[in-house]
């Protein structure tokens, strides 16, 4: 049986400065999430990363039953947790540059990009072949890591993947072999009669 997995990147509040923190969703993010609830594929099992951002996204989607999955958690930012990108750049510019260019670097004493990629790939490969259709609300880093792993790309490509809030990526797989599944554009006319 083929496993069909859709990863949904969690909603994000409007922030002026990127922060390495789990911040709650604002009203705008919750409205945007509710607006897409009916557009997601059906699922036999729904997962959420344990962060506030992901669990609030799942709740706004109207999910009653969701499995919290620790393997889908965000990057452990170690000593940079709760700091803004600007604060890290000012206090540890060399460390930030190393972290964003060397996937094995962990100057914050948290997780490296390579470690995150391995963690997410291990979770994907551990899914049972009869899991069916799965839907998971995840962090940006997890969606990036999944793409890197499925494509067999080097960890350096992690930073080359843009994952906007509320975007999805789909995978199909069986027996530890995963494929990226691209979406289709609707052929329905836009604006009425076409």
Please name each of the domains of the chain with its CATH number.
3-76+112-181 (3.40.50.1240)
Q: SS3 helix, strand, coil % of the chain, rounded to 5?
A: 40, 15, 45
Interhelix angle 52-60/27-36, rounded to 10 degrees, is 50
> pLDDT-derived band of residue 104, with 50, 70 and 90 as boundaries?
very high
- The Cα–Cα gap between 144 and 133 comes to 20
pTM of the predicted model, to two decimals? Answer: 0.91
CA distances to 45, 87, 127 from 2, in Å: 14, 45, 11
Task: Write out pLDDT tens, residues 160-169.
Answer: 999 999 999 9
pLDDT in the model for residue 183 = 73
Task: Write out pLDDT tens, residues 39-78.
Answer: 999 999 999 999 999 999 999 999 989 999 999 999 999 9
pLDDT in the model for residue 94 = 97
pLDDT in the model for residue 184 = 62
User: How many residues in total does the chain contain?
Assistant: 194
CB 6 within 8 A of CB 134: yes
**Cα angle, residue 166 at apex, residues 75 and 37 outer, rounded to 5°:** 130
CB 72 within 8 A of CB 139: yes
Q: Give the sheet arrangement for strand 45-48, strand by strand.
A: 67-68, 45-48, 133-138, 3-9, 168-174, 177-181
């Amino acid at each position: 049986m083929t496993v069909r997995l859709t990863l949904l990147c969690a909603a994000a509040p409007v922030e002026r400065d990127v922060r390495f923190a789990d911040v709650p969703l604002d009203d705008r993010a919750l409205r945007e999430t509710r607006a897409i609830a009916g557009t997601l594929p059906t699922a036999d099992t729904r997962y959420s990363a344990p962060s506030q951002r992901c669990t609030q996204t799942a709740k706004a989607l109207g999910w009653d039953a969701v499995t919290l999955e620790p393997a889908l958690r965000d990057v452990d930012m170690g000593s940079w947790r709760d700091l803004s990108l600007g604060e890290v750049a000012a206090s540890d510019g060399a460390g930030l540059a190393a972290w964003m260019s060397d996937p094995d670097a962990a100057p914050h004493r948290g997780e490296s990009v390579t470690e995150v990629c391995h963690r997410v790939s291990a979770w994907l490969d551990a899914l049972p072949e009869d899991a069916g259709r799965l839907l998971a609300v995840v962090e940006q880093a997890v969606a990036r890591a999944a793409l890197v792993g499925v494509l067999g790309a080097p960890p350096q490509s992690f930073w080359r993947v843009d994952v906007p809030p509320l975007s999805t990526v789909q995978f199909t797989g069986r027996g530890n072999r995963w494929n990226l599944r691209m979406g289709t554009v609707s052929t329905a006319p836009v604006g009425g009669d076409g």
